[in-house]
Amino acid sequence: MKSRPEPNYQRILQRIRHCFDFLFKRGFRIVSVIFTDPGRENWQVTLTADDYLIEIYGYAGKVYVALSTLQLYEQVGLFELTDLIYLILEGEESPALQREPPMNEASNLQETARLLERYIDDVLMEIDSIPILPSTDDFLKDRYKNPGQLSSDNCPGFCSKVGKQPFIL
């Protein structure tokens, strides 16, 4: 006998599919649904498409969206939607960002979806413009071939002026 998904699970998925329909039309698909508390009130839904990752999550009755590319996610994590919009607007105050979110989770989900839909192209362009830095491990391997020695570029001005090797513990 197959078990039926819990009502909270079904409710969240239906609301996500309805409110964020524009993401599914762009090719996003749900890859993960997680409930983070025993009462199943706090949740996280992860969507991906191409190189993008979007997490829609509910915490304490409020809904949030965070985005990234898959590669940036591995390096630095996610960026909050409101922070990205603030960057896009170059610090200008947006009425949509100033409003207090509705107390009702369903209404909050709809408003958050409308905000994302309005700025989706700009937000994805902003994420794409974030430089991908080389891996720290690769940087350290190339930069410090001999970890017991400091080179002159690691202590500019000091080693060459004194003419001695720095003291290494």
pLDDT in tens, 112-135: 999 999 999 999 999 998 887 666
Give the number of C-alpha atoms closer than 13 A to the C-alpha of residue 1, restricted to the C-beta side.
2
Of residues 166 and 29, the one with the higher pLDDT is 29
Q: How far apart are alpha carbons 53 and 123 in whole angstroms?
A: 12
pLDDT in tens, 92-107: 665 555 556 556 777 8
Banded pLDDT at 46 (limits 50, 70, 90): very high
Structure token digits, residue 108: 């909050």
Q: How far apart are alpha carbons 69 and 49 in whole angstroms?
A: 10
Residue with tokens 């993008």: 52
pLDDT in tens, 7-43: 777 888 999 999 999 999 999 999 999 987 776 678 9
**Secondary structure class of 39 (helix, strand, coil):** coil
User: E strands, 38-163, where?
Assistant: 43-49, 52-59, 62-69, 79-80
pLDDT in tens, 72-92: 888 888 999 988 998 888 866
65 pLDDT above the threshold of 50: yes
Contact 51, 66 (CB under 8 A): no
Of residues 7 and 145, the one with the higher pLDDT is 7
